[in-house]
Every structure is written in C-alpha cells, then in structure tokens.
Amino acid sequence: MYKVFVKEIPIILSTEKNIGKQYKSIPIKLARFKKIVRKINDGELLYVNLYHKNPEKLEKFLFKKLKVVEAGGGMVFNSKKEILFIRRNSKWDLPKGKKEKGESHEEAAIRETMEETGVQDLQIKRFLKKTYHVFKRNNKFKLKVTYWYEMYTDYDGELIPETNEGIKKVRWKNFEKTQKALLDSYENIKLLFPKEYLTTHPNDRVS
C-alpha cells in the first residue's frame, strides 16, 4: 500500500478493491489521477482508493502521472537518543531536500540535513522508507518522492537553521518532546515513526 498526500489528505494505492465504506475505489486503469488530485486539493474529495492486484504496478502508475521530484531526508539521532527536528511553515518537520544531479539518495539526505541544520559527522544507519506527496509549483502539480534514512551523529555543537529555506528553528527532541512535536507535524513524517511515538498522554493531545 502507498499513501500519496495532497494537502495532508492521503490518496491510497492498494491491491484491495474494498478498504472501507467511505472510500471511493477506482481501478488504476480507469483513474484520472490529475483530476483526483485537483478534487482533493479543492476539498471536493476526501477518501479515494486506487487499486490493482499487482503491487509493482502501483508505483509505476504514480510515476507516469506526474513529474517526479526526488529528495533525501534524515531522521537523525544523537548519543542521548534525541531526534533532530526543524521548524518550517509553522510545523515540526525533519530535514530533507531535493536530490541534485549525479547525487545518490544517501548523499542528498546527508547534504540537505547538514545544510538545513548545521549538524556534522552524519552516519547513515539504515534506509527507512519512501514517502510521497503532491505539491504545486508554477501552477503544475508534481510528485515529491523522499527517500528517508536513519542517521546518527556525535555532534554536540551549535545548530544553525537554514533561514533562506524558511527554517526558523532546529532542535534536538527527546522521546516526550518528539511525541508533542508529532502532534504539530505532517502526516507523511508520522509514517516514519514507530507507534509508541504517536501515542501521547491525553493531556498532551491537541483538541
């Protein structure tokens, strides 16, 4: 299953025709993807499931429908098991950015994380997953595919937000603070975290 976010609303791509009564299910061979994206973007559609029995065809379908922008990002841990967050567009986010020509996804993830936060000495531990979201640029919809990596660093120096990219803050957050930050984050970022990070004390929840 894939979740492609449009304004925080997921388009589901799955191998199942029926995933819930509220979902409008459409076989991918009949799906007019750009029209679906426009309807979600305009608030006219909330629940949609695009399906095909062959899971390999789901991502191929996506990549044919919109211009793809590839990016790399990092979930960075330090020796205290804190996680590195950035504050941008009034949301807590993880550092990420567009892959440059000739770069690998790993190289892009390390470079962008360093540029956006000032952190140094990053080591990639493992690949986490890909996330997908649709954005609008020059009045055209594009698909951003971000390759996420778990990273580690011993760096304990100054953190410097890349202000020309709209980043207001960079912070290390422990388990409790990470839980609170995820209440004010993006849905595709939440997909990267184990369930225990997404379960908060009732007093911390946003009503």
Residue 120 is part of a domain; what is its CATH number? 3.90.79.10
Contacts of 97 (CB under 8 A, 6+ apart): 71, 72, 73, 108, 111, 112, 115, 116, 165
In terms of domains, do 90 and 191 share one? Answer: yes
In terms of domains, do 36 and 127 share one? Answer: no
Structure confidence by residue, pLDDT tens digits, 48-71: 999 999 999 999 999 999 999 999
In terms of domains, do 127 and 198 share one? Answer: yes
In terms of domains, do 178 and 82 share one? Answer: yes
Plot region of 8 (φ>0 → left; ψ -120 to 50 → alpha; else → beta): left
Contact 97, 72 (CB under 8 A): yes
Q: Which two tokens stand for residue 121?
A: 């000495």
User: Which run of H or of E encompasses 177?
Assistant: helix 175-182
Distance CA 66, CA 110 (A): 26
In terms of domains, do 126 and 34 share one? Answer: no
| Domain C-terminal end among 11, 45, 65 | 65
**Is pLDDT above 80 for 116?**
yes
In terms of domains, do 147 and 184 share one? Answer: yes
**Is pLDDT above 80 for 200?**
no
- Average pLDDT, stretch 164-183? 97
- Average pLDDT, stretch 125-149? 96
**Confidence at 155, pLDDT banded by 50, 70, 90:** very high
In terms of domains, do 52 and 136 share one? Answer: no
pLDDT in the model for residue 199 = 81
Domain region containing 23: 2-65
pLDDT in the model for residue 207 = 39
In terms of domains, do 131 and 148 share one? Answer: yes
| Domain C-terminal end among 65, 92, 112 | 65
Structure confidence by residue, pLDDT tens digits, 60-109: 999 999 999 999 999 999 999 999 999 999 999 999 999 999 999 999 99
Number of domains in the chain: 2
Contacts of 205 (CB under 8 A, 6+ apart): 183
Q: Which two tokens stand for residue 154?
A: 């011993």
| Domain C-terminal end among 16, 33, 65 | 65
Contact 47, 22 (CB under 8 A): yes
In terms of domains, do 33 and 107 share one? Answer: no
- Average pLDDT, stretch 34-59? 96
In terms of domains, do 147 and 179 share one? Answer: yes
- Average pLDDT, stretch 4-13? 96
**Is pLDDT above 50 for 177?**
yes
In terms of domains, do 154 and 175 share one? Answer: yes
- For the whole model, what pTM was predicted? 0.92
In terms of domains, do 95 and 27 share one? Answer: no
